Amino acid sequence: MAGTESSQAQLDRMRAEIDQLTRQPPALAQFTNRAEEAVGTAGEQVQARTQVVAGAIRQRPFAAIGIMVGAGWLVGRALHRRRRRLARAARSRRVR
C-alpha cells in the first residue's frame, strides 16, 4: 500500500501542477483580449479597404488594368536587377 500512496501523492502533485499551468495570469488574459480586439479591428479595416478598391476597379477597369500592368513591370524589373546583381557577385567569387 505504501507504493500506491506514493503513486497517488505523485498523481495529486502532477494534477496540481497542471492546474496551475493551465490558469491564465490576469496580465496574459488582458493581453489576449486586446490582441483579439486588434485582430478583429484589423480584419474589419481590411474588409472595408477591399470594398473601396473593388468599387474603384468597377468604376475604372481600364485604369486599374494599367496600374496593375505598371506595378507588375516595376516588380519584374526590380527582381531582374536583383537577380542580375546576385549572379554577378557569384561569378566574381568564383573567379577569385
- pTM exceeds 0.85, yes or no: no
Q: In this predicted structure, what is the pLDDT of residue 26? A: 74
Closest CA to 66 of 77, 80, 56: 56
Angle between the N-to-C axes of helices 26-59 and 61-95, in degrees from 0 to 180, rounded to the nearest 10:
120
Q: What is the pLDDT of residues 17-53, one digit of tens each?
A: 887 777 767 777 788 888 999 988 998 999 999 999 9
Q: Work out the end-to-end distance of the chain between its first and last CA atoms, rounded to an integer number of angstroms.
A: 78
The answer to whether the Cα torsion of 6, 10, 12, 16 is positive or negative is positive
